[in-house]
Amino acid sequence: MNDLFKQQVYEVTRLIPKGRVSTYGAIAKAVGYPNHSRHVGNAMGNCPKDVPAHRVISSSGKLSVPSFRERLEKENVVVQENWKIKDFKTLFWDPLAEL
């Protein structure tokens, strides 16, 4: 995973609107690496503070990082007891469709 890949991931992630979520896989596709969702996750682990990593979740609609729950709830995203995002399909932001 090179710096260009990380920068592209961060740029796409910065575009996710408040109150919406995207997935590691959707971001990987948007930057041209459709099979690199794990690399997106790795990039999120060390991202700059201005990157809203809390808005990036698994493709099943579950939070991967439990500590992000509070940040999402401040944006009116409901996180259920099983760590799934309520109304995930409605809140899903697909960079390929939205950009």
pTM over 0.85: yes
Distance separating alpha carbons of residues 28 and 8, to the nearest angstrom = 9
Distance separating alpha carbons of residues 22 and 45, to the nearest angstrom = 16
- Listed by start position, the domains of the chain span 3-90
> At 21, is the secondary structure helix, strand, or coil?
strand
Tens of pLDDT, residues 3-60: 999 999 999 999 999 999 999 999 999 999 999 999 999 999 989 999 999 999 999 9
Tens of pLDDT, residues 47-60: 999 999 999 999 99
Instruction: Classify domain 3-90 at the CATH topology level.
Output: Arc Repressor Mutant, subunit A (1.10.10)
